[in-house]
Amino acid sequence: MRVLEKTIIVGTLLVGFGLLQACGNELDCGNGTIKVGDECLVDTSEADADTDTDADSDADSGIGGNSPPTKPSVVISPSEPTSSDDLTCIVAVDSTDPDGDPVSYRFVWLQNDAPTGNNTSNYSAENTTTGDSIVCRVTPNDGTQDGTAGLALVSIQ
């Protein structure tokens, strides 16, 4: 289950889990810097590292030997929307499947941390107001297994 939590960074940042490592008052994430005092959406489901060491377990390779697709890179257009702009969730970098399976995507929009029920790649301006926080979550699937979801976030100006 994926859990998004709104977090305000109030102290020293310590990030691990193999992808990013930093300690101090700033973290450069490649597409921006997170600083003490910043408000962030945190995908807490990623915090559970796989500690399975059983060589014949399917936990590391997926379900029944199937490997899940890779995480897509996702953006919302426009990147600085107003309440009169329709939003489009774009898969900027496609997921790939290590097994060569075709990959499909499931779109979920969140508005102010709540699911909207909209499961398409477009979100209508009529549903937004100034100050809203909008997230598009895109989950890849290879027909057998979901991969890690890509997320994009915008604030309505």
What is the per-residue pLDDT for 61? 53
Give the pLDDT confidence score for residue 40 in this predicted structure. Answer: 56
Q: What is the CATH number of domain 66-157?
A: 2.60.40.10
Q: Which two structure tokens, joined as six digits, stand for 129? A: 């107001």
SS3 state at 126:
helix
Count CA atoms within 13 Å of residue 82 on its CB side.
1
Backbone angles phi, psi at 15, to 5 degrees: -125, 140
pLDDT given at position 33: 58
Q: In whole angstroms, give the CA distance from residue 141 to residue 122.
A: 19
DSSP H/E element including 129:
none
User: Quick check: 150 and 141 in contact, CB under 8 A?
Assistant: no
pLDDT of 69 > 70? The answer is: yes
The residues spanned by each domain of the chain are: 1-49, 66-157
The highest-confidence range among 2-6, 8-12, 62-66, 119-123, by mean pLDDT, is: 119-123
pLDDT over 70 (residue 75)? yes
* pLDDT tens track for 106-146: 999 999 999 999 999 999 999 999 999 999 999 999 999 99
pTM over 0.85: no
Q: How far apart are CA 49 and CA 66, in angstroms?
A: 19
Task: For residue range 29-67, list pLDDT tens digits in order.
Answer: 544 556 555 555 555 444 433 434 443 434 345 667 889
